[in-house]
Amino acid sequence: MTATIRPCRPDDAEALVRLIHELAVYEHLEDFARATPDALRSHLFGPRPFAEAILAEMGGEPAGFALYFVTFSTFRGQPGLYLEDIFVREAYRGQGIGKSLLAAVAKEAIDRGFGRLEWSVLDWNQPAIGFYRSQGAQPLSDWTVYRIDETSLQRLAELAPPRI
């Protein structure tokens, strides 16, 4: 049986939240998984979508997903796609679903005339690292990802000058 890859629809929000929770468990980040079906419906399918998702199905059952959004490279002067998450449920791994999801996102970037596809991977996730390298991906060893969220984000925002 082959996986079907299709764009997520608003009625997929519950299934997508379940897949996100499974990803969080796999990454030992369950405490950070706060996505709700309503939030996904609002942010993926609302008046101004912030991201897009595709769903992999096997026999009509959700097997995995990829979630991505548009970025922009100042140096290239060109947009790209950032793959926020890609996940295949354990029971469906080893069947080419991850490769199909990644290829579908890459095709989306090419079809839109974008210059690149980027993502981050946890440094302990050797199966993912091996998979990405087998697809031609190279780590950017000279870049470090930084993040500000929650209280630090609020404190920093309070320092912003008034908008003109």
- The answer to whether residues 28 and 35 touch, using CB atoms and an 8 Å cutoff, is no
Q: Which of 54, 85, 84 lies closest to 71 in space, CA to CA?
A: 84
Tell me how many degrees the CA angle 79-81-86 measures, rounded to the nearest 5.
175
Digit-coded pLDDT (tens) for 60-76:
999 999 999 999 999 99
Options 3.40.630.30, 1.10.150.250, 3.40.50.300, 3.90.600.10; which CATH number does 4-139 get?
3.40.630.30
Active site residue 92: no
Burial-class residue 67 by CB neighbours within 10 Å (0-12, 13-18, 19+). Answer: buried
Please name the residue that has the structure tokens 């984000």.
Answer: 153
What pTM did the predictor assign? 0.93
Residue pLDDT, tens place only, 74-83: 999 999 999 9
Q: Of 82, 92, 132, 146, which is the active-site residue?
A: 132
